[in-house]
Structure 1
Amino acid sequence: MKLYEFAPTRSIRARWTLQELGIDFESVTVNLPAGEHRSPDFLKINPAAKLPVLVDGDLVVTESVAIVLYLAEKYPQKKFLPTDLRKRAELYRWLLFTATELEQPLWRIARNTFLYPEEERQPQDVELASRDFKGMAAVMETHMKGREFVVGDTVTVGDFVLAYTLDWATMESLLDDYPTLRAYLERMYARPKAAMRIAQAAASVGIG
């Protein structure tokens, strides 16, 4: 099994899941600043030129949420995916909520602060995206009150995905008004097999 990754990206979600599973895998670093994700060899693996990518035998899985779900199903003994249909539906709900309602505003901020060429950035969208994120963070704050995990009484892949996304939000100072989410974030990254936080991962590859 190979994980194509670049430390501070959403690769963290896949790596975290693999580490919690205790699965042996080969890490293949794809240097984004150097443009390695657009090399012909990598584009054969993922034509979208995105990370992470998991290769398991002849199976290629892209998209971080798809990767963590695949791993959870492949190794059911860890119970990172609920077997109860209702709880599984709840997990899908919050995974998609995280990816669409929380992550997308963060992407808008990133694109318009440093990813897009300066002449293409829309600074006004940063404020709008921040407002959009905070509205949805309030929903998650309410959901997480009195809870240790996103769904049920044990950790699931939903927690690995959410914790990474909230860590991203802290980089933009967007969690100041959400003490429940901040406490949850700290608990998750205190787990023995947690992945590196984004800032630490960026420093490990000389960014920031």
Structure 2
Amino acid sequence: MKKLSLCCLLLLFLLPVAIQAQGVAPATAPNTADDSVYIESGQDTVLIKSYATRYDPRKALLYAAVLPGLGQIYNKKYWKLPLVYGGFGALGYAVGFYQKGYKKYKAQLFDNINEAPNNENFLHPVSELSTGQLRTIVTSYRRQRDFWLIMTGAMYLLQIVDAHVDAHLKEFDVNPNLQVSLEPLIEQDAVLGRQSGVALIIKF
């Protein structure tokens, strides 16, 4: 009789716990096969789709390689487009400027060589530059043009790397409660006295 009473009492205590556990359990079990993150918060289950399914680093790299700036558009970093196209515009202008000067002074150098092949002091009738001076100018313009061409290639590779790395970093931005703010800060120190400033507050 005592055993039966003890079993009934134990059953009465365990039954509400089992019912409560069944009520909290989600209707459908999380599918661990998909690329998602589940965060338990009290009685609520929050599903956060991982950025890995939305931003593929290989796609970002391919898009940026096909068309500069397209990788940044894929990553939805539109504010980087003026930097990419502004950089290419400035580099293209520099390359065009030195290429134009190179062709101009190279033609004048050939005119001087045709007129006086062995005279380095012969002056060109238009620019009034000697053959020796024109050789120096042509060499300088060619070097500057080649330098800015190399910088254009470096800019092209840089925007590809930026798109690739940016797509990788998207995978780490999965906390919905992440907050970054600047707040005024006032501290009282025994040595330095009262100090005021701005504090960077990160909450997660």
Shorter-chain TM-score tier = under 0.3
The structure with the larger Rg is: 2
Which structure's residues are more often strand, by fraction? 2
Which structure exhibits the higher relative contact order, with contacts defined as CA atoms closer than 8 Å and separated by 6 or more residues? 1
- Normalized against structure 2, the TM-score is what? 0.26
TM-score normalized by the length of structure 1: 0.25
